[in-house]
Amino acid sequence: MTGGFVICEYEKVKEEFPEFVNVTSTLRSKLIDKARKDWGMEFAGSRRVGEAAKYLGVNNFSAPGPGLDVHYGEGEFGETTIIPASFRNIANTTLVTWNQWLTATGSNIIMSGANGGNIYKDYKIGIAGLAFLDKAIRISEFKMQISDKKIPRVNIEEAFGYNKPAVIFEEGYILDEQTGFDLTAYVLSRGPQRIKLIGEMVYKVKDKMLTNTGAALV
């Protein structure tokens, strides 16, 4: 990877870019460590690793397992995929899926934190990259702002001929709870566009993740 990112086909990321595994693994570790420190809680995946080790009679498990199973009230936090409802679209409406309708051309904020531009309290999100899941790509450039940190513009026109292109960062970014996030893009044409954030999120309160699918987060 050069210049801090790579543009490639989403379906070939793991196959052709082994560095991606390191990016996501490092980002996940940083996200979990930050949640441990900030929330004063333990990651549920660590408990699951301990249970697996005991069952298998192995004591050298080094990486935490999936943290979806959180025993409520035991001081644990969990992890899941990045939920679209964490963000708002170009029309300032909470996303239900990653698909949105780009309503204006030119430079526009096409995605922002769902809580008035901020990430909701009790959630932290790790972003390793962006995937464009349509054959027609309606933007030519994007840039991000995370709190007061401004990430420079990235032109993606070379990806117009790719099948489901993705931009993978050399280093992932953490969107902390109650901090601002904006994804600004130069929109070439109005119409549908499905832009998926690649990464994961951790959550502090299990009950907040047990609401109806597609519902807004709280």
- Four-CA torsion 127, 99, 18, 174, nearest 10 degrees: 0
pLDDT at 38 over 90: yes
CB 208 within 8 Å of CB 218: yes
Angstrom distance (rounded) from CA 196 to CA 100: 11
Q: Give me 161's structure tokens.
A: 């001929």
What does the pLDDT read at residue 163? 86
Reading the block at residue 97, the tokens are 């899926």
Least confident of 50-54, 103-107, 183-187: 50-54
What pLDDT score was predicted for residue 23?
85
How far are the Cα atoms of 50, 117, 198 from residue 201, in angstroms, in the given order? Answer: 22, 17, 10
Measured between alpha carbons, how far is 5 from 155 in angstroms, rounded to an integer?
11
* Phi-psi group of 178: left, alpha or beta (phi > 0 → left; psi -120 to 50 → alpha; rest → beta): left
Average pLDDT for residues 173-201, to the nearest whole number?
Answer: 97
Q: Of 187, 130, 192, which is closest to residue 164 (Cα–Cα)? A: 130
The overall average pLDDT reported for the chain is 87
Is it the case that residue 60 has pLDDT exceeding 60? no
- pLDDT band of residue 36 (cuts 50, 70, 90) is very high
pTM for this entry: 0.87
Model confidence at 65, pLDDT cuts 50, 70, 90, reads: low
Q: Kindly tell me if the per-residue pLDDT of 218 is higher than 90.
A: no
pLDDT value at residue 47: 64
